[in-house]
Amino acid sequence: MDEVDVAIVGAGAAGLMAAICGARQAEDTASRCRVLALDGAARIGAKILIAGGGRCNVTHDVVTAEDFNGTSRNTIARILRTFDVAATVGFFDSLGVPLKREETGKLFPVTNSARTVLEALTGAVHPAGIRCSARVQGIRRKDGHFILETTGEPVRARRVVLASGGRSVPQTGSDGGGYELARSLGHSVTATFPGLVPLLVQPGHWATRLSGVRAEVELTLRSSSGKTIRRERGSILFTHFGVSGPLVLDMSRHWIAEGSPSAGLTMNFLPGMDFPSVDKWIVREAKKRPRAALSTLLQSRLAERLVSALVSAASIDPATHCGRLDREVRRRLAHTL
């Protein structure tokens, strides 16, 4: 049986960080400490490699407790203060991974490659500190230590760190198995719900015909009473089942947390404009170019396929001359946009 000081269940982003920090802390105290990260995958880091569209958005330039769902804002704030954005940037810079800030505030490696991040993290862990194809199936206490039963050799450890992920991407190992390990040791587990997920639409919805189209939009989440809960602007991606992309993923947890079927989510395809300003824009452009086709006007701001779908959804002929739009049709178009 292997004997270690610290056994880490999971060798993803959190597990690798724990292994690195554990080893560094031992060096600072001049103590001998063997740290071992155990992972069920044959190759680690699958979730790191798909993060940020394969570029891995490491963090954000502004991170606050309000950005997280948790039982205590004060607890989250205290954790964030121990390793803030500046410390994160400095940490990765020390590993040879400088970060860059993009317009959204997200920080990516300058290489634009998630593999750069993965290789830096694994390279900072002692070669003997990671064991693949060793899924932890159970943990029990014995004689003041923990015994970890794995698909390989069992491991005896003085301390255990659970870094096994949630339920986000089961095929990468985040299948919720860590929750059962926590329960088996007497911990309570907070009920989970999906977050950072795409939005689904009914089969046959016009949005499903736009698969592959990207757009810059504004999403607004409103309560059943009409109160604005959240408003965000960013990039979306239409898919064969609905809508995805960074903005939708960020908004999804607020949508789900609201929990009311009567809450509303609206998408503005002309961000920064409201209904009156969109209506005035159409009137102004119609006066300038009365003989221009409606589709031509809209394609000056939106993708051709998106224009076709929106005009169809508004039940308007795209060939209609801008100067022939009556008030009712124009307002219907503005509402659709």
Q: What percent of the chain has pLDDT over 70?
A: 99
State mean pLDDT over 191-216: 89
**Which pLDDT does position 224 carry in this prediction?**
87
**Which pLDDT does position 142 carry in this prediction?**
94
Nearest to 66 by CA among 233, 243, 218, 257: 257
Angle (CA) 69-74-76 rounded to 5° is 45
**Which pLDDT does position 14 carry in this prediction?**
95
Other C-beta atoms closer than 10 Å to the C-beta of 283 total 15
Structure-block tokens of residue 286: 């119609």
Question: What's the pLDDT tens digit per position in 103-161?
Answer: 889 999 999 999 999 999 999 998 789 999 999 999 999 999 999 999 989 999 999 99
pLDDT beyond 90 at 191: no
DSSP structure string for 270-283: STT--HHHHHHHHH
**Which pLDDT does position 25 carry in this prediction?**
81
Q: Rounded to an integer, what distance in angstroms lies between the CA atom of residue 7 and that of residue 181?
A: 14
Are the C-beta atoms of 148 and 136 separated by less than 8 Å?
A: yes
Count the residues in the chain.
337
Q: Rounded to an integer, what distance in angstroms lies between the CA atom of residue 231 and that of residue 255?
A: 11
Nearest to 265 by CA among 229, 233, 312: 229
Long-range contacts of 21-29 (CB under 8 A, 24+ apart): 22/161, 23/125, 23/126, 23/129
Task: Please name the residue that has the structure tokens 């020390």.
Answer: 94
Give the model's confidence band at 261: pLDDT under 50 very low, under 70 low, under 90 confident, else very high: confident
The average confidence (pLDDT) of the chain is 92
Give the model's confidence band at 255: pLDDT under 50 very low, under 70 low, under 90 confident, else very high: confident
Question: What's the pLDDT tens digit per position in 19-35?
Answer: 999 888 877 776 778 99
Other C-beta atoms closer than 10 Å to the C-beta of 31 total 9
Straight-line distance from the first to the last Cα atom of the chain, in angstroms, rounded to the nearest whole number: 64
**Which pLDDT does position 63 carry in this prediction?**
94
Task: Please name the residue that has the structure tokens 């939009």.
Answer: 217
Instruction: Tell me, rounded to whole angstroms, the distance of Cα 95 from its chain centroid.
Output: 24
**Which pLDDT does position 195 carry in this prediction?**
78
pTM of the full structure: 0.73
Q: CB neighbours of 36 closer than 8 A, spacing ≥ 6?
A: 2, 4, 6, 7, 8, 19, 128, 129, 130, 131, 155, 157
pLDDT beyond 90 at 196: no
Give the model's confidence band at 308: pLDDT under 50 very low, under 70 low, under 90 confident, else very high: very high
**Which pLDDT does position 67 carry in this prediction?**
82
pLDDT beyond 80 at 187: yes
Side-chain half-sphere CA neighbours of 29 within 13 A: 8
Are the C-beta atoms of 186 and 236 separated by less than 8 Å?
A: no
Q: Rounded to an integer, what distance in angstroms lies between the CA atom of residue 281 and that of residue 248?
A: 27
Phi, psi of 2 (to 5 degrees): -70, 140
**Which pLDDT does position 23 carry in this prediction?**
84
